Amino acid sequence: MKITDLQVSNPIYVPFKPMTDAINTIPAAMTYTFLKIMTDEDITGLSINYSGKVAQVIIEDLLKPVIIGEDPINSERIWEKMYWATLQYGRRGIAVAAISTVDMAIWDLKGKIFNMPVHRLLGGHRDTVPSYVTGVDLHYTNEELIKEVNEYVKMGFKMIKLKLGRKDPNEDLERVKLVRQTIGPDIDLTLDVNNGWSLHTAMRMARKLEEYDIFWLEEPILADEIENLAKLARETSIPIAVGENHYTKWEFRQLMEQGAAEVVQADIGKCGGVTEFIKIAAIADSFGLPICPHHTEYVDASLVAAVPNGLFHECVYDFFEPMGQLFINPSEPKNGEISPSDKPGFGFELNEETIKKWQTKPSPEKMRWIVKKGWRWPPYL
């Protein structure tokens, strides 16, 4: 079998509820594109990507020429060709996100060739995995926060993630206290600062947060400050979770060797795709660490189920629910668990009606705002 062509769809603007965390603001919509890889045997691989036009240029101009004519079974060979095609200005960031998009479509294709769901093709550790829920809720009032958390508990989730990183850290502490009181001791609570704090703010906050039985503290400081993450991990009993802004097995190995990551959160759509994710999972396993991917909706449950140290699927509910409308009968969490599709590949079936409806570009103020540095208090201590 040979790859004959590759197509990136028109942008699709998925409408969302307003969401904020310490560095991101999404007022009403985000852009997605689909990637289709065609073969000479009429089997097509599909993936979804949120890196927009920039990734599209890399995919069409740099990756397409090196994968046309390749046999899609040879995913290692294709990955290596793509990595070297972008090496001189890639290695991380958008180039690796573009590689990830192609690699996910290759694995969807491989599943269809073998008539097997991806999680089984990769080794099939389980058919059902736990799913936790994330609220992107830094702007919520206390009343809105309690309402959200109660809804998640009612849906059956056993772990909830809360965003922190307000200008006043005392407000963060109040929110944690409030949520812990609301959910009681039997639901796990995890916190995400999205790179928002300085090392010393993180150290002070971690000490104060310990009494709330926190399952993990995610991206407390800038992802680039690997030594500081390791220092914090040594200082606090709360496990440090990082990975959604890290790339490739090389960077993840460094994070783990230095003790900077205790929960490994590679994003399948950014870290290098399925091919790279399973290697990162194996490295984590060798360190005795769990892997808990950052959300890549409708792909990550398959990967958590495939590997022995897969911890949780992440359901960012306010993304997950509208994005589900892009597909026909997508897998969804029930009572805090999710089963990846048992159809070949990732089991995507596109809902063409919704896709057509969401092709009109919203006004700029409704789109995701430029990511900004979080407020640091005090700024440089």
Binding residues vs Mg ion (CB under 5 A): 192, 218
Report in angstroms how near the CB of residue 163 gets to Mg ion at its nearest.
Answer: 8
Report in angstroms how near the CB of residue 124 gets to Mg ion at its nearest.
Answer: 28
* Of 117 and 135, CB closest to Mg ion: 135
Report in angstroms how near the CB of residue 303 gets to Mg ion at its nearest.
Answer: 17
Report in angstroms how near the CB of residue 9 gets to Mg ion at its nearest.
Answer: 27
Amino acid at 32: Y
Could you say which DSSP state residue 316 is in?
Answer: E
Residue 355's nearest CA partner among 326, 321, 330 is 326
* Of 172 and 218, CB closest to Mg ion: 218
Tokens 């496990």 — which residue? 239
Tokens 């307003």 — which residue? 18
- Residue at shortest CB range from Mg ion: 192
Report in angstroms how near the CB of residue 218 gets to Mg ion at its nearest.
Answer: 5
CB proximity list for 249: less than 8 A, separation 6 or greater: 272, 276, 279, 280, 283
* Of 34 and 216, CB closest to Mg ion: 216
Cβ–Cβ under 8 Å, residues 14 and 32: yes
Q: How far apart are CA 366 and CA 364, in angstroms?
A: 5
* Of 246 and 279, CB closest to Mg ion: 246
Tell me: cis bond preceding 65? Omega within 30 of 0 counts.
no
Could you say which DSSP state residue 51 is in?
Answer: S
* Of 317 and 348, CB closest to Mg ion: 317
Report in angstroms how near the CB of residue 262 gets to Mg ion at its nearest.
Answer: 15
Report in angstroms how near the CB of residue 366 gets to Mg ion at its nearest.
Answer: 23
* Of 108 and 192, CB closest to Mg ion: 192
Amino acid at 27: P
Q: Would you state the structure tokens that stand for residue 2, as one six-digit string?
A: 């040979």
CB proximity list for 353: less than 8 A, separation 6 or greater: none
Amino acid at 366: K
Q: How far apart are CA 320 and CA 289, in angstroms?
A: 26
Residue 197's nearest CA partner among 234, 163, 174 is 163
* Of 148 and 192, CB closest to Mg ion: 192
For the chain, the maximum distance between any two Cα atoms, rounded to a whole number of angstroms, is 60
The residue count of the chain comes to: 381
* Of 106 and 271, CB closest to Mg ion: 271
